Amino acid sequence: MTSEQLAWKIKRHGIEMTSISKGSHIGAILSVADIVAVLYNDIAHVDSDNPLMLDRDRIILSKGHAGASIYAALAEKGFFNVEELKTHYADGSRLSGHVSHKGIPGVEFSTGSLGHGLSVASGMALAAKKDSKKHKVYVICGDGECNEGSIWEAAMFAHHYKLNNLIAIIDHNKMQSLDFCENTIALEPFPEKWRAFGWDVIEIDGHNHKELKNAFKIANNSVENPTVIIANTIKGKGISFMENNILWHYRSPQGEEYDAAVAELENNKI
């Protein structure tokens, strides 16, 4: 399976999972799908047969509301049965709406309350350096999440301890729950903020798999600083009537909208 094929499957599962559950956040799931696909398919050292191996890379989805993308990637990579995805968000299911590590092989940390993932990832990266471990720690954050002060506390911490084994990826879709980021709390100049905090910064098209792979390669070879990959994405990417439409932060695809979303994906199947 190529990363492009995995990204398509994540999007297809995401549409179905949010439709069955009547759950929210399909816009965020679609914007982060390519990042998650490249990371799990071509970059991270993880093993579905041994999900707790000591030298595995750690992956945290800090924007936990897009957890369906992680569940879909893990299922397609063999961590658990794909059929279980249909229980997402259901009473009694272990696949909660926001991503959970409780009983889910391959999930390192439960998230949902925004701003915590980078702090935890920084701690994991510091522990790895103190123990002379070689694995990497990847954390995917939302751009709206960067309104949280805890993000910048963690950024200072990571630079202070020279955590070159820490790679943050920002799903920079320019939107958050109710509006555009710049109308809520302005982030720009976003790259310059990270550079001011001592991070190496890479800016890419977050839907271009070649650019994603090259960015991860550069980040993994950092010799001193933590790296942030600012991945410019489109909320709702791949479904034309969802793209850049804030309605799809909370709305779930039902009826004719579900049929139209599935038809558009099937017409662009990889």
Residue-wise pLDDT for 208-232, tens only, equals 999 999 999 999 999 999 999 999 9
Half-sphere exposure (Cβ direction) of 110: Cα atoms closer than 13 Å? 10
Give the residue-averaged pLDDT of 252-268. Answer: 97
Residue-wise pLDDT for 180-206, tens only, equals 999 999 999 999 999 999 999 999 999
pTM of the model: 0.97
**pLDDT over 90 at 53, yes or no:** yes
Residue-wise pLDDT for 113-150, tens only, equals 999 999 999 999 999 999 999 999 999 999 999 999 99
**pLDDT over 90 at 93, yes or no:** yes
**What tokens appear for 32 in the block?**
């982060």
Cα separation, 87 vs 25, in Å, equals 16
Residues whose CB falls within 8 Å of the CB of residue 11, separated by 6 or more in sequence, listed in order: 29, 30, 33, 238, 265
Helix/strand/coil (H/E/C) assignment for every residue in 160-200: HCCCCCEEEEEEECCECCCCEHHHHCCCCCHHHHHHHCCCE
**pLDDT over 90 at 270, yes or no:** no
Q: Are 110 and 101 in contact (CB under 8 A)?
A: yes
Task: List b or e across 102-137, with b for residues whose CB sees 16 or more CB atoms inside 10 angstroms.
Answer: eebebbbbbbbebbbbbbbbbbbbbebbeeeeebbb
